[in-house]
A and B are shown apart, each in its own frame.
Chain A
Amino acid sequence: MQRDHFPSTQVASMQALLTGGQEGRARLCSEVMQRYRAPLLAYVRGSSLRRSGDPEELVHAFFASRLSRADFFEQWLESGFPFRRWLMNGIHFCAHERRRAEDRAVGGEPAGERVHEDAGERAFERALAVRVIESCVHSVHQSLAARGLERHFTAFWKRYVDGRSYAAIASETGLSIRELNSAVRGVTAELRAAVRAELVREGVEAEMLEIELSRMEEVLRP
Chain B
Amino acid sequence: MSRPQPDDPARDPSTTLPLSAAVAHSISAAVTRGGIRPVDFAVEELRRAEDRAAWIEAALRLAFGGGSPGSGVARADDLVRTARPREELDELRRRATMAFGGATRVEARNAALVAYAFVVAAGLVHHRALLSSQPREEIEVLLAELAGVLGEPFASFLETAVKAGGLAA
Contacts and interface: CB of A to CB of B under 8 A. Distances in A.
Contacts of A180: 144
Contact of A165 (B27, B31, B136, B147): B136
B15 to A, nearest CB: 11
Interface in A146-203: 153-154, 156-168, 170, 172-173, 176-178, 180-182, 185, 188-189, 191-192, 195
Contact of B9 (A134, A156, A173): A173
Given A130-B19, A165-B169, A195 B31 contact: yes
A134 B17 contact: yes
Contact of A130 (B6, B21, B165): B21
A210 interface: yes
Given A157-B13, A170-B163, A181-B141, A188 B23 contact: no
Nearest to A221: B25
A162 B16 CA distance: 12
A90 B131 CA distance: 56
Contact of A138 (B17, B35, B140, B163): B17
A49 interface: no
B148 interface: yes
A191 B166 contact: no
A141 interface: yes
B148 A181 contact: yes
A167 B163 contact: yes
Interface string B26-60: 11111110110000000000000000000000000
A168 B166 contact: yes
Nearest to A145: B14
Nearest to B31: A192
Interface string A70-108: 000000000000000000000000000000000000000
B25 A172 contact: no
A211 B97 CA distance: 28
Contacts of A168: 166
A144 B14 CA distance: 12
Interface residues of A, number: 47
A220 B24 contact: yes
B144 to A, nearest CB: 4
Nearest to B139: A166
A14 interface: no
A210 B162 contact: no
Contacts of B16: 157, 161
Interface string A203-222: 00000001001101100111
A146 to B, nearest CB: 12
A67 interface: no
Nearest to B160: A177
B167 interface: yes
B23 A161 contact: yes
B27 A126 contact: no
A15 B23 CA distance: 36
26 contacts: A129-B28, A130-B19, A134-B19, A137-B17, A138-B14, A145-B14, A153-B13, A156-B30, A163-B26, A164-B6, A165-B137, A165-B166, A166-B144, A166-B162, A167-B163, A173-B9, A177-B144, A181-B140, A182-B148, A191-B30, A195-B31, A214-B32, A217-B25, A217-B32, A220-B24, A221-B25
Interface of B: 6, 9, 11, 13-14, 16-19, 21-32, 34-35, 136-137, 140-141, 144-145, 147-148, 155, 159, 162-167, 169
Q: What 6 pairs across the A-B complex have the smallest Cβ distances?
A: A167-B166, A165-B166, A181-B144, A220-B25, A162-B6, A188-B34
